[in-house]
């Protein structure tokens, strides 16, 4: 019943949710010796999500490695949490707008 845009928004929200889980896992393992930060390439994965592919999780490179081999940066992960929340809120508002438009069209059509 949802059109193409709403379907893309839904996939976008799924991708944001997957990234949120990865960021939460990174934070949970911030003190785990040898743990390597994981993430997804959001832009390319969104394109893949449109094509119905599952996101690919990769180890993040270029981060400072602590003495215990862990490379989780709490600053980076906190920024990603905030960015993800913003992305999800925007997608939610877009979806709400799509549903509202559909709702209005249904009620307008039934009142004539």
DSSP 8-state symbol, 52: T
In angstroms, rounded to a whole number, what is the distance separating the alpha carbons of residues 82 and 91?
A: 14
Domain ranges of the chain: 4-110
Lowest mean pLDDT among 6-20, 26-40, 60-74: 6-20
In angstroms, rounded to a whole number, what is the distance separating the alpha carbons of residues 36 and 69?
A: 8
Average pLDDT over residues 37-41: 91
SS3 (DSSP) at 112: coil
pLDDT interval class at 37 (50, 70, 90) = very high
* Residue-level pLDDT at 81: 94
* Residue-level pLDDT at 34: 96
Specify whether the CB–CB gap between 89 and 48 falls below 8 A.
no
**What tens digit of pLDDT does each residue of 45-59 get?**
777 766 666 778 889
* Residue-level pLDDT at 2: 55
* Residue-level pLDDT at 104: 85
């Amino acid at each position: 019943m949802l059109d193409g845009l709403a379907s893309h928004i839904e996939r976008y929200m799924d991708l944001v949710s997957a990234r949120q889980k990865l960021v939460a896992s990174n934070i949970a393992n911030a003190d785990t010796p040898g743990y390597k930060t994981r993430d997804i390439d959001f832009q390319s994965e969104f394109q893949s999500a449109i094509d119905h592919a599952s996101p690919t999780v990769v180890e993040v490179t270029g981060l400072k490695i602590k003495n215990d081999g862990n490379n989780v940066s709490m600053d980076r992960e906190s920024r990603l949490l905030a960015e993800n929340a913003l992305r999800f809120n925007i997608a939610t508002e877009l979806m709400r707008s799509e549903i509202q438009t559909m709702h209005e069209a249904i009620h307008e059509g039934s009142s004539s």
